[in-house]
Structure 1
Amino acid sequence: DEVNGTTVYAEDSRDNDGYFAQYLGEVGRHDWQLSLRREDNEQFGQHDTGNIGYGYALTDWLRGTISYGTAFKAPTFNELYFPDYGNPELDAETSESLEVGLAGQHGWGHWAVNAYRTVVDDLIAYDASISAPANVQEARIRGVELVLGSQLLGWDWNANYSLLEPENRSAGANRGNELARRAKQLFNLDLDRRLGAFSVGASLHAEGQRYDDLANTRELSGYATLDLRGEYRITPEWRLQARVANLLDADYETAEGYNQPGQAAYLTVRYQAL
């Protein structure tokens, strides 16, 4: 890993060696996934992580899943050393996650319900009291995700809604508070339709309110954005694509003092060999 530019960092490079193996299997109505990873980070040492997942087709249209996994995340150079912001005392994050799900595939469409629980040790989060990133000794994130999709009047639509409980579980004054800069509710809706050589679509994205600080004293309002897109297939290889992001020019922040992009338009010519 390297970082370079006009800013001088106390450390600007580190070696990171990773080894990864994965096994996928399927027999009848059963399927599974096993994975292991060994990461040797020059700065934060050696860490072994992995994942085990199992799925079972209860019927031809209904499938259940369960998985467990661990993870490791090293702080970035900005989080460690950026002048007047970085915290060189940061430790790496480690976490454990458990997820269960149920999904259905029908003639009218598809749906899924997933529930998960993640426990993170030394979560890296912004601490307004020191104006720098800090480690949250223990954090717990519980959530439920609902997925639904179908077709109506020639339009394909897909929606998902997530309800989260991001909680600080560390000892001290902030125990029980919401984790900083994490919304408790998220919603996405995609609409798409193809009309011969043309295709059009729209995406709605919404997030609920969040707090900017670990003490939960500075609240950031929720927001919603709407994107439009279109495509014309000139030939099988050539496509002309257009997109308008944040069509309604919503003014919002996910971190206090940092406005997110306003309305923007993009035009793309794409070539893909067949």
Structure 2
Amino acid sequence: MKYGICNLSTIPLRMISDHTSEMISQLLFGDHYKVIQENKEWVKVRLEIDQCEGWIENKQHTEISKDYFDDLNNSDFVVSNNLVDFIEDENHQLTSVVLGSRLPFYNNESFNILDKSFRFEGNVTSNKRSKQSIVNSAFLYANTPFLWGGKTPFGIDSSGFTQMIYRLNGYFLKRKAAEQASQGEVLSFIEESEPGDLAFFDDSEGEITHVGIILANHHIIHCSGKVRIDLLDHSGIYNKELRKHTHKLRVIKKIF
């Protein structure tokens, strides 16, 4: 088996091996993966952080050894905590990194990918943090436009939003809303929830398709058109601008 790491700001992860295929997720700088299939121009990968599978262009694949892959799994998970910042390599070339990018083997403003050294002087996080920190991080993405498969402050979807907020605070969620709904502890009523817990919503066929982060005073922050704040009640999400419920509540989960 082959292994790889993302050494670019972002790499689109596509459903099939074609540039016109839908983007189902994104790799961020520092994400590592297993290669599970190859063809002439594309590589199918499985991200280690959430087991999401998809295709990336072969030109954007950077191979690593199994030993290096295992070392990444056993090392601290340190991520950037600035909306956008830059890393600098040994030749003083800059690469932009977005909020939540991983900095492998980070120590005292330095980190390495393979035999290449980098410097990052921005803010980082690495430890499990409080639910209040979850809420604070969520506001960093306010007004970010909806992008199917997106995971950055320039475009994000509902489950990408919750995944990234929890990632910034030391917790790991799966990629899709339905998968995230299988994690954590079920809460019977909204009144049992705390700011930072997750609320999931289903469609007319009963499939969970949306997720958001519960806020205080019966509000929720979620990505629908953009990352926005709406009211939350026992029926679901109520949009005051539209004067109607837009999402039907299915379940509330406490992750920690």
Same fold (TM over 0.5): no
Structure with the largest fraction of helix: 2
From the CA coordinates, give the structure whose radius of gyration is larger.
Answer: 1
Structure with the largest fraction of strand: 1
TM-score using structure 1 length: 0.24
Flag the structure with more relative contact order, 1 or 2, with Cα contacts below 8 A and sequence separation at least 6.
2
TM normalised by structure 2 equals 0.26
